[in-house]
Amino acid sequence: MSKYIIKVNGNPYEVEVQEIGGPSAPMAPAAVKPRAKGTAGRQAVKTTQPAVASAGDVAAPMPGTVLKVKVAAGDTVKKGQVLLILEAMKMENEIVSPADGKVATLNVEAGKSVTAGEVMVTIA
């Protein structure tokens, strides 16, 4: 049985390791790449842009429920203009226009559930 002291987040822990099985060649420790300072325990936050199935299509980036539709078929929209509000995971997400144009088709209404990738609006 071998005893080791291991530090985790600056706290030392004494552990005992029992070898089971026959004698084997000692293994070299695996190389550990240190993290940059200040990033421990943090994960990168990714913003979700609306998926574009084809030019002009605005698809749902995730499954959810349409709370409010802010445009109608035939409306002229600018890039970045809010088209609708999608509730997903108890959060309200603004779905914006990917380009300037005119709303050719509106495939959703308030209260409708959508799946990820479902085309909600087509901009011509």
| pTM confidence score | 0.57
Structure token pair of residue 71:
């445009």
Tokens 């990820």: give the residue.
116
> pLDDT 10s per residue in the chain (124 long)?
788 888 888 888 888 888 777 665 566 566 655 655 554 554 444 434 444 456 789 999 999 999 999 999 999 999 999 999 999 988 999 999 999 999 999 999 999 999 999 999 999 9
Q: What is the β-pairing status of strands 119-123 and 91-96?
A: unpaired
Burial class, 4, CB count within 10 angstroms (exposed 0-12 / middle 13-18 / buried 19+): exposed
* CA–CA separation, 58 and 84 (whole Å): 11
pLDDT at site 47: 39
Residue 69, beta-bridge partner list: 84
DSSP secondary structure string for all residues of 71-122: --TT-EE-TT-EEEEEEETTEEEEEE-SSSEEEEEE---TT-EE-TT-EEEE
